[in-house]
Chain A
Amino acid sequence: MTTTAAPLDVAALKADFPILARTVREGKRLVYLDSGATSQRPRQVLDFERQYIETANAAVHRGAHQLAEEATDLYEGAREKIADFVGVGFDEVVFTKNATESINLVAYAFGNATFSDDPAAKRFALGPGDEIVVTEMEHHANLLPWQQLAQRTGATLKWFSVTAEGRLDLSDMDELITPRTKVVAFTHQSNVLGTINPVSVLVAKAQSVGALTVLDACQSVPHSTVDFKALGVDFAAFSGHKMLGPSGIGVLYGRSELLQAMPPFITGGSMIEQVFMDHSTFAPPPQRFEAGVPNTSQAIGLGAAVDYLSALGMDRVAAHEHELTGAALSGLQEIPGVRIVGPADNVDRGSAVSFVVDSVHAHDAGQVLDSLGIEVRVGHHCAWPLHRKLDAAATVRATFYVYNDLADVQALLDGVRETQKFFGVGA
């Protein structure tokens, strides 16, 4: 493809994002470097969502009238676009509220399977002697559901540790992933370190012992070409609001055969086949996992976000972010008294750049940056054990996306120097 060679026209696409035109803190240009927490939305997404509400709003899968038909088509059309976007089948995409719910759905379905007498569900059951393996770099969303599942079922939780450079330590993989392992849950790309994990290595090992894999794809799907089939994972989760889409919509991918066999998490309307007073049977997936009227306009909006990203080209998006990340990493390393938390080389890493400024707490650094219009995240970014491990109580995190440019990186670098000056530290 020749088009992928041309870089993103950031100046042009910025105009699609109305919020970028506003100023903050007494007239400062908004330098939004917190897309890792949530991204901004282009007009195309907002318009599409609004148009649906103004012309076709109805309860999906619940009516025979024309509006219900149109709404259902749009909702299912969004599912199709999203499935294509991540290389999976239409019926392998379950809509949820966010990635957190997607991961909980899997963990609770496994818990329900544990206490189910359906023979098909037995493959998901866990008990004493079984092991769940996670990593030390997980977002709390991919840690607590597994902690809780282990507590409920008596299974044991184990984890990969993280090296000082912020890479996964695979040296004890053979001791961690064993025939006792039932689930291996890990992040594709760390929301703190930027580290991209070797999915194929972990999947191959998990498959060799018959364990299921769950991928937290929150920070990969928005930023690069991701094909879950090619990666070979069994389940994957991501959130719409981190990929130019609405909040309130998330996705769970599950391999068809697994979703077929898995018991539901949330039960109620829209997920049933037959209902009697004393028992019920369930719809096939994905409906089985979508009880209640869904976040319809949000799902439809996410479909529009996927269209927007596809038109940009995910390879170009990744190349653009790679350039900004490289500039940020080298620029920050040139500032004495700044330490990158995570890989400092721009290899196998995404655009989350976390750092500490010596003698300045992350909260204080964030406050100075904010006063300059630079919006970064400060704290432990929902990865407290990781921060503890890397001996950083809190870090400053900048994340880049399609609408950021080198001027934003420069603003960050200048802002860090300004921070040091304000607190009288550094060179």
Chain B
Amino acid sequence: MQLQQMYQEIILDHYKNPHHRGLRDPFEAEVHHVNPTCGDEVTVRVHLEGEGPDAKVVDVSYDGQGCSISQASTSVLTDLVIGRTVGDAFGTMDSFVELMQGRGRIEPDEDVLEDAVAFAGVAKYPARVKCALLGWMAFKDAVARVVDGGQA
């Protein structure tokens, strides 16, 4: 059944037991993103140390409400980027975005994406791709505010 392909156990696990959820201090930027078609929303805070692409993502905290896909993908995001450099985190993000926009035709690299490979099935449903990207786009935006703001 296609449904199981979309709602992989990993996704449902992250949905029921989200990682790193809740808004924490300290943080350098906080952003609020919404999905205008369904009203889902997420607030993301990032805490970075250092400068530019080598800055370290010390913490990503978040709060929001939304469907299992958007909530789980934000939880997976935090696992993948906390403790990494901004450059690495953005590299992972690019792979994830590519996977999600691939209409289900891209073979995900588990070494890079880890739990995020579970979202491969979601990519077959164009209406849900935005859900999967909600938290990631918020993270990108938040980091850009710190990095661009800091370097300017």
Instruction: Say yes or no: is B104 at the interface (Cβ < 8 Å to chain A).
Output: no
In the docked arrangement, what's the CA distance between A394 and B66, Å?
9
Contact yes or no, A393 B40, CB < 8 A: yes
Q: Which residues of chain A are near B12, meaning CB under 8 Å?
A: 423
Which of the segments B1-9, B24-32, B77-85 contacts the partner chain?
Answer: B1-9
In the docked arrangement, what's the CA distance between A379 and B131, Å?
12
- The range of chain B's interface size is 10 to 19
**A25-B2, A361-B67, A367-B3 in contact; A394/B128 too (CB < 8 A)?**
no
- A 368-384 to B, binary, CB cutoff 8 A, 1 in contact else 0: 10010000001110001
CB distance from B71 to the nearest CB of A (A): 8
Which one of A25, A364, A380, A384 lies within 8 Å of B68 (CB-CB)?
A364
Contact yes or no, A363 B131, CB < 8 A: yes
Contact yes or no, B66 A393, CB < 8 A: yes
Contact yes or no, B7 A422, CB < 8 A: yes
Q: Which residues of chain B are near A393, meaning CB under 8 Å?
A: 38-41, 65-66
Instruction: Say yes or no: is A236 at the interface (Cβ < 8 Å to chain B).
Output: no
Instruction: Say yes or no: is B93 at the interface (Cβ < 8 Å to chain A).
Output: no
Instruction: Say yes or no: is B100 at the interface (Cβ < 8 Å to chain A).
Output: no
From DSSP, what is the main secondary structure of chain B's interface residues? mixed
Contact yes or no, A367 B125, CB < 8 A: yes
Instruction: Say yes or no: is A387 at the interface (Cβ < 8 Å to chain B).
Output: yes
In the docked arrangement, what's the CA distance between A380 and B39, Å?
7
- B 37-56 to A, binary, CB cutoff 8 A, 1 in contact else 0: 11111000000000000000
Instruction: Say yes or no: is A26 at the interface (Cβ < 8 Å to chain B).
Output: yes
Instruction: Say yes or no: is B69 at the interface (Cβ < 8 Å to chain A).
Output: yes
**Chain A interface (Cβ < 8 Å from any Cβ of B):** 25-26, 361-364, 367-368, 371, 378-380, 384, 387, 393-394, 422-423
6 A-B pairs whose Cβ atoms sit less than 8 Å apart in the complex: A25-B2, A361-B66, A364-B67, A364-B68, A367-B7, A423-B12
The 9 tightest CB contacts between A and B, nearest first, are A363-B67, A361-B67, A379-B38, A371-B3, A380-B39, A364-B68, A394-B38, A364-B67, A393-B39
**Chain B interface (Cβ < 8 Å from any Cβ of A):** 1-3, 6-7, 12, 37-41, 65-69, 125, 128, 131
